[in-house]
Amino acid sequence: MTESETKSLQAKEKKEVTTPAELTKPGLVFNPAVDIFETERELTLLADLTGVKAKDLKVDLKDNVLTLTADETPLEGSGEKDVIREYRTGTYYRQFSLSDTIDQSKIEAVLKDGVLRLTLPKVEAATPRKIAVKVA
């Protein structure tokens, strides 16, 4: 059996997007790459939010719409001149409409190394219960 080799990462540019409401500060807006998966008890969202500090991240859940807004802090000092510029910094923005009812009081967000892990536990009633069918 051949060993599977790790495939090499392709360079992807950040996806620019127009938001329905304009942001108060001018600048570019990007859609971050996300993974969303669900288990019986919760929904988990993982987003690549590079250059974002925890205080600049806003997570909103309203009317079953989840909104992520995060400002990237550019790291360049004021005396620096550009030699090569391949990516830009701006604001990350993404909205998702959630179908299941989420227990809002138990949402957890962890931001580490530029990756956000958002855990949204489902309301107890929404977790499927197995109903045993009795044969009469």
Partner 1 sequence: MIIRRFSDWPTWDWRSPFDELERMRRELDRLSGDFTGSVFRLPTAGVFPLVNVTEDQNNYYVRAELPGVPTDELDISVTGETLTLSGERKLPEESDKSSYHRREREAGSFSRVISLPARLDVDKVKAHAEDGVLTVVLPKAESAKPRQIAVKSS
Contact footprint for partner 1 (CB under 8 A)? 6-13, 16, 18, 28, 33-40, 44, 46, 48-53, 75-77, 79-88, 111, 113-115
Minimum Å gap between C-beta 52 and partner 1 is: 6
Distances (CA, A) of 86 to 14, 30, 43: 10, 15, 34
d(CA 119, CA 103): 10
> Terminus-to-terminus CA distance in the chain, angstroms?
53
Residue 2 vs 37, nearer CB to partner 1: 37
d(CA 2, CA 86): 37
Residue 79 vs 134, nearer CB to partner 1: 79
d(CA 48, CA 50): 6
Query: Is 116 exposed, middle or buried, given 0-12, 13-18 or 19+ CB atoms closer than 10 A?
Result: buried
Residue 75 vs 133, nearer CB to partner 1: 75
Minimum Å gap between C-beta 134 and partner 1 is: 27
Minimum Å gap between C-beta 45 and partner 1 is: 9
Residue 63 vs 82, nearer CB to partner 1: 82
Beta-bridge partners for 66: 61, 96
Minimum Å gap between C-beta 81 and partner 1 is: 6
Residue 25 vs 134, nearer CB to partner 1: 25
Minimum Å gap between C-beta 83 and partner 1 is: 4
Q: Tell me the one-letter amino acid at 32.
A: P
